Amino acid sequence: MDSLFTIDNPVLAGMYPDPSWIWDAPNTRVALVNSSFEMSPGLPIHVSQDLQHWELLGSAIDDAMAERLLLRFVPDSGGIFAPTLRRIGNGYAIACTVANIDFQAARDAGCDVEEIMEAEGNFVITADRLEGPWHGPFWVRGANGIDPDLFEDIDGSVWWTQTRPSVDPRWEGNTQVWTQQINPVTWQLQPDADDYGPFSRTVIWEGFGIEAVWAEGPHLFRHGPYVYLMTAEGGTSFDHSEMLMRTLAPEGFAAALAEFPSVRLISHHADSCDTDLTADSPYVMRAAIKDDAEQTSSPLSPDRPSDPSLPARKTDTLRAVEDVDGKEEMETEDGARADTCRLERTVYTDRNRLFHPDKKNPILTHRHLGSDERVQCVGHADVLCHPTLGWWLVALGSPQTPCEDGSHLNFLGRQSYLYPVKWDRDPQPSVASDNNTIDDPGWLVGRYNLGRLVESLTIDTDADAVADVVIEEGPDTWRILDLTITPQRGADWMSLRCDDSVLWHRLESDRTVIVLPSDCDITLRQNNLHHVIIQPPVAQDDGSLCVTWRVVNGAHIDDRMVTLPDNPEGCLVAVFADGRLGLGLMADEELESVLMLDDIDARFLSTEWSGGFVGCLVGRALS
């Protein structure tokens, strides 16, 4: 490998959000997967050996799996959310969520939806090779929330971690990150138990600070004796940021959880219990926490004694009856069932937490750069160590297009960007634990003093130094998308909601010339309520050629007609740039030669105007 290599961001242009990656050691390459929402084939997998050159290897979701995932019944911006790709054992696994299914429509079509509902759309797919075939989905019954993560620890245990709305929110947007062991053969969550009885999941995080919102996209990973937790916070918008926490776990994450004082909770499922959950109820574990001194403490503050005036704890009156796929059914001594209640625990309280945050958080964000920054909403990161190129984050970012009115809007969706990091620690070299000295690897910080994403980074690997850096070049370079050639369906040309009548391609640049075919419709869409349909030229009675294009902006529909010049020279094109969309004629593929015939304000195609999570797609009708 040459000592000089250059990373050009984004490494995946167009709508490639929620990236997750691994170092695929058996094949000496990096593998990266992205969300795909309503599209199939879905979960595109790209690979690279050097982080510079990326190849589309294929998709984990084929047509048959898309049907099993009920993608036919998801709305705009629904479908496949936030995958995590990991190597588990000797194979590959992707944890993911299919969101916002219209279950009634699926039932009416004769689909069995019970397993999906029990898993809240959370599933795992597996493969022996990244190329596939991929097997599944294996529905994770009892999962709760979105953005699932898989983590295999040094003792062979595998952990399912994800985010959900807080059971008892303290402010709007308050979320919880929880974890639970999962069986990597059956892909079912495993119940746990301690001296106080059985429980299901453990809440490990709720946010970095007061009024922290939308702690999501969690990833657990190990470095040395520590298990680290990465989360994105602030929502996938202008306050998006990446946070880092850790806990000391030299004997394994399971041991660290077992040793930590925890507070018993009854989950959100308790709202549906028929049982009276009063203060005196045996179902309320008011003080079921444990520390080294076997001291009973207040559930809201594990480091102070509980109030002696409270009812005695009822833990001993609860016993597990049976384990149903990771769900503990409980009964009291008189045999009454609380079969819809889940007992949980938390290791995140106001005064005591298993995971401690990096005081330098966030480790990556653009929220401090202001609204004029080209790339916004940076976060939802994943981490890996390349054997020769060191540690890197991959994160999503939303490119903002400068428009004529001075606004900055996102048309392309969220793209994948790379950011170099390294391990750094405070001056103290180690920490002590159980009279043993443990090396402290410290925390991830930006390498080369960048402190932000850059458009282009050239690194001299021999000197481990930056040879050249381009912070921001401005608008995208022009791209030409030729649709006169019928595309082949695949990971680059996809269907929406399993409908093959139109194939769709990601818009990869906010300066794109689309060469229009003469025999079928072309659509530029943000969603069902915000799109433009361009029909092929039609001869009129007077012999002239006219192009009709329909502009759908919510409830407002505008049918426009453009008459082509007599004996037109060049090809008919649609030009998308600077927040406008126009029709014109282009001669000899020279952009300077484009004769514009009509154009419209296209700001309604941005995510800010139309809503949702996706970027613009270009569709070519096949009939």
Give the 3-state DSSP-derived string for 532-596, with helices as H, strands as E and coil as C.
EEECCCEECCCCCEEEEEEEEECCEEEEEEEECCCCCCCEEEEEEECCEEEEEEECCCCHHHCEE
State residue 491's pLDDT score: 74
The answer to whether the beta carbons of residues 206 and 229 sit under 8 Å apart is no
Q: Strands 479-482 and 511-515, how do they pair? A: parallel
228 and 205 in contact (C-beta within 8 Å)?
A: no
Phi, psi of 231 (to 5 degrees): -140, 150
Give the whole-angstrom CA distance, residue 64 versus residue 72. 11
Strands 39-40, 226-233: parallel, antiparallel or unpaired by DSSP? unpaired
The 3-state secondary structure of 75-93, one letter per residue: CCCCEEEEEEEEEECCEEE
Strand 443-446 relative to strand 571-577: parallel, antiparallel, unpaired? Answer: unpaired
Residue found by looking up tokens 């049976």 in the block: 322
Give pLDDT, residue 280.
34
Q: With CA atoms as reference, report the closest residue to 529 among 498, 507, 550.
A: 550
Cβ neighbours of residue 590 under 8 Å, at least 6 residues apart?
none
Question: Pick from 115, 109, 140: which is nearest to 126 by CA?
Answer: 140
Residues of the chain with pLDDT under 50: 268-341, 432-435
**Contacts of residue 373, Cβ cutoff 8 Å, sequence gap at least 6:** 366, 400
SS3 70: coil
Q: Which residues contact 447 (CB under 8 A, 6 or more apart)?
A: 390, 391, 420, 421, 422
Predicted local distance difference test score (pLDDT) of residue 429: 53
Pairing assessment for the beta strands 327-331 and 571-577 based on DSSP bridges = unpaired
Residue whose C-alpha is closest to residue 199's, from 243, 242, 142: 142
Burial 422-432 (b: 16+ CB within 10 A, else e): ebeeeeeeeee
Tell me the C-alpha to C-alpha distance, in Å, between residue 436 and each of 225, 248, 355, 433. 12, 13, 21, 5
CA distance 206 to 216: 9
CB of 305 closer than 8 Å to CB of 297: yes
Helix (H) or strand (E) holding 436: strand 436-439
CA angle 528, 533, 534 (to 5 degrees): 170
**Is the four-CA dihedral 368, 147, 144, 353 of positive or negative sign?**
negative
What contacts 10, CB < 8 A, 6 or more positions away?
Answer: 16, 397, 399, 415, 416, 417
Task: Give dist(CA 253, CA 599) in Å, integer.
Answer: 59
pLDDT in tens, 418-448: 999 999 987 765 554 444 567 899 999 999 9
Question: Residue with structure tokens 């704890």?
Answer: 313
The burial of 213, by beta-carbon neighbours within 10 Å (0-12 exposed, 13-18 middle, 19 or more buried), is given as middle
Ranges of beta strands (E only) in 9-72 are 20-24, 29-33, 39-40, 42-48, 55-61
Q: What are phi and psi of 529, to 5 degrees?
A: -100, 0
d(CA 16, CA 9): 13
pTM above 0.85, yes or no: yes
Q: What is the DSSP string of 119-131?
A: TTTEEEEEESSTT
Half-sphere exposure of 163 (CA within 13 A, CB side): 25
For each of the domains in the chain, give its residue range(s) and CATH number, in order of start: 17-143+378-396+405-453 (no CATH), 479-621 (2.60.120.200)
CB 440 within 8 A of CB 458: no
Supply the pLDDT for residue 316: 27
Question: pLDDT tens digits for 291-328?
Answer: 333 333 322 223 323 333 323 322 222 232 333 333 33
Radius of gyration of the chain, Cα coordinates, nearest whole angstrom: 27
CA distance 99 to 468: 42
What are the angstrom distances between the C-alpha of 303 and each of 176, 295, 297, 315?
22, 9, 7, 20
CA–CA dist 382, 466 (Å, integer): 23
Check residue 126 and report its DSSP letter: E
Q: Where are the beta strands (DSSP E) in 461-510?
A: 465-470, 479-482, 494-496, 499-506
Contacts of 499 (CB under 8 A, 6+ apart): 72
Residue 152 is predicted with a pLDDT of 98
Helix (H) or strand (E) holding 219, with range, is strand 216-223
Contact 191/323 with Cβ under 8 angstroms? yes
Distance from C-alpha of 277 to C-alpha of 281, rounded to nearest angstrom: 5
